[in-house]
C-alpha cells in the first residue's frame, strides 16, 4: 500500500509547519499519477499521523487530473491516466503538464 509512504511524507510536512500545534484538518492535493485511493489514503493517513500533532486531524484529499499537452499540434487535455498519444492528431509527442502534484494545501489548527 504505497499510500502509507505518501502519507508519511505529508505528515512530515505537517509537522514541519505545525510545530507543536495540534492540527484539526488538512487539505492535500494529489495528482492522479500517484494512484491514490481515497479509502486507502484515509486509513494510511490515520496510521502515519499516529502519535503526531496530526493524530486527530481530518485529512481532505483533492485529486487532480492528469494534464497533457501535445508537442505536435499543441492540443491540451486532461485524463485519468498517462495518455499514449494525442487524441487530436495521434502524435506520441505527449508532454505531461500536471498530475504528479503532492501538495499540502492548508492546515487548520485546533482552536
**List of residues contacting Zn ion (CB under 5 A):** 70, 72-73, 75, 86, 88-89, 91
Element (H, E) at 70: strand 66-70
Toward Zn ion, which CB reaches closer, 62 or 89?
Answer: 89
Smallest gap from residue 78 Cβ to Zn ion (A): 15
How near is the Cβ of 88 to Zn ion at its closest, in Å?
A: 4
Nearer to Zn ion, 55 or 95 (CB): 95
**CA 47/CA 94 separation, integer angstroms:** 37
Query: Would you say 22 or 98 has its CB closer to Zn ion?
Result: 98
Nearer residue to Zn ion within complex by CB, 5 or 87? 87
Q: How far is the CB of 64 from Zn ion (least distance, A)?
A: 22
**Smallest gap from residue 85 Cβ to Zn ion (A):** 8
Query: Residues for the chain: how many in total?
Result: 111
**Which CA distances in Å does 85 have to 64, 67, 88, 101?**
20, 13, 9, 22
Cβ(94)–Cβ(80) under 8 Å? no
Amino acid at each position: 500500500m504505497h499510500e502509507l509512504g505518501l502519507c508519511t511524507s505529508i505528515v512530515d510536512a505537517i509537522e514541519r509547519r505545525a510545530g507543536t500545534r495540534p492540527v484539526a484538518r488538512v487539505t492535500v492535493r494529489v495528482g492522479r499519477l500517484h494512484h491514490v485511493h481515497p479509502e486507502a489514503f484515509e486509513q494510511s493517513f490515520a496510521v502515519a499521523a499516529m502519535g503526531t500533532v496530526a493524530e486527530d486531524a481530518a485529512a481532505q484529499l483533492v485529486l487532480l487530473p492528469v494534464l497533457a499537452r501535445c508537442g505536435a499540434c499543441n492540443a491540451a487535455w486532461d485524463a485519468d491516466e498517462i495518455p499514449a498519444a494525442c487524441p487530436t492528431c495521434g502524435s506520441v509527442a505527449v508532454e505531461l503538464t500536471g498530475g504528479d502534484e503532492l501538495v499540502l494545501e492548508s492546515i487548520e489548527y485546533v482552536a
